[in-house]
Amino acid sequence: MSSNSLNFLVLATGTPSRHLIDAITKREHTFEHHNPDDLYLFVSESESGYDRIYNGSATLESPVRLKAKSYDAVISRIGGGLVHGASILRHLTDNLDIYCAQDADGLETASNKLKTTQRLSARGLRVPLTTYASNPVHIDFLINKVGGLPAIGKLLNGSQGVGVFILETPQAANTALESLYRLKANVKIQKFVKAGSKDIRAIVVGDKVSVAMERAGKKDFRANISQGGSGRKVELSDSDVDICIKAAKAVNLDFAGVDIIKDEDGKTYVIEVNGNPGTKIIDITGHNYFNDLVEYIETKVEKTKKPEEAEATAQAAIPSAKSWFNAPWNK
């Protein structure tokens, strides 16, 4: 085992992707997988800290403390239950001082489509014309401000194209929006950017774009692969690379999926930032972005890691594959 080996805490709501496992183990690192739903956080009353985190898995007779010094970095893959998952991640990074390429507040921002749009615009990035109101009386006004119909409606929370719909006629727009508002569903309205049912998903890791894929819709205007779209690997222009990196940093994430579209004049718009990008882009492009993520984390952690800490990590490392498959949290 190399003295430079790291031990990762993989904070994932589901089973970690084989692509992530491969990226960790091929670099001779080790890891433990913990579902944030199984973890208990403890905040002490001491001015010196002494905050803790415990594994409260139902497979254990009693909670077991996870010692911060046992981990060099956290890799977060939080899907559902983000409020709790972000609280656990914040505790690990802010209270226990374990490095992660993702910020808990950044994940919460990325999960809210309106907050993301506001943050992107505040950082000088082009986004589609957008309106939002909690109790709109003047629907025509809101639609006209984004360029009229057709327009796009989006629930503020959702992924994989779920909660995104097109408003094509005045009657359909009024009916849909009034129904959603009566249900207390938060919706933002955006300009319909003519992009030929195509968009681009770029995976940002640190200060580079790891890989990019163009997605094309087949069933409707949505280009998401999960909605039946197709994908192919593409190379971005220097300008679009810069836009994607700035978009990820705008929501305070060093690892994210950034979605952009280009209109008929070639202007680039940032649509969304995804804090838990899927792995279909890996299968389609053949590029495992987790390799770039692990290597990026190595550079961030090794800069602050003392030689004696590196040696201690190597001595305490757990055989990754065996421990992962036999660990109680995977049973």
Query: Which pLDDT score, from 0 to 100, does residue 32 have?
Result: 98
Is the pLDDT at 295 greater than 90? The verdict is: yes
Contacts of 45 (CB under 8 A, 6+ apart): none
What is the C-alpha separation between 321 and 37, in angstroms, rounded? Answer: 23
Per-residue model confidence as pLDDT tens digits over 7-65? 999 999 999 999 999 999 999 999 999 999 999 999 999 988 899 999 999 999 999 99
Residues in CB range of 277: below 8 A, 6 or more apart: 201, 203, 256, 257, 289
Q: Cα separations (Å) of 97 from 85, 90, 185, 196, 212?
A: 17, 9, 37, 46, 32
Q: Which string of b and e fits 242-264 if b means at least 16 CB within 10 Å?
A: ebbbbbbbbbbbbbbbbbbbbee
The per-residue pLDDT of the chain, averaged, comes to 89
Residues 201-211, mean pLDDT to the nearest whole number: 98
**Predicted pLDDT at 133:** 87
Give dist(CA 251, CA 249) in Å, integer.
5
User: Model confidence at 329, in pLDDT bands (50, 70, 90)?
Assistant: very low
Token pair 């909690």 in the structure block, residue: 134
**Percent of the chain that is helix, strand, coil (3-state, to 5):** 35, 25, 35
Amino acid at 285: T
pLDDT of 109 higher than 80: yes
CA-CA distance, 320 to 299, in Å (whole number)? 21
Q: Tell me which DSSP letter residue 73 carries.
A: E
- Find all residues with CB under 8 Å of 266, minimum gap 6, and list them: none
Evaluate if residue 178 carries a pLDDT over 90. Answer: no
Average pLDDT over residues 292-298: 98
Residue 189: which of 172, 165, 169 has the closest Cα? 165
pLDDT for res 318? 45
Digit-coded pLDDT (tens) for 91-108: 999 999 999 999 999 999
pTM passes above 0.85: yes
Is residue 326 over pLDDT 60? Answer: no
**Predicted pLDDT at 113:** 94
Give CA–CA dist 327/115, Å, rounded: 38
Write down the pLDDT at residue 230: 84
Report the range out of 148-157, 172-181, 264-273 with the highest average pLDDT: 264-273
Q: What percent of the chain has pLDDT over 70?
A: 86
Structural domains of the chain sorted by starting position, each given as residue range(s) with its CATH number in brackets: 7-102+288-330 (3.40.50.20), 108-125+194-274 (3.30.470.20), 130-191 (3.30.1490.20)
97-101, 182-186, 318-322: least confident range: 318-322
User: Mean pLDDT, to the nearest integer, of 226-240?
Assistant: 87
Q: What is the pLDDT of residue 260?
A: 98
Look at residue 137 and tell me whether its pLDDT is greater than 90.
no
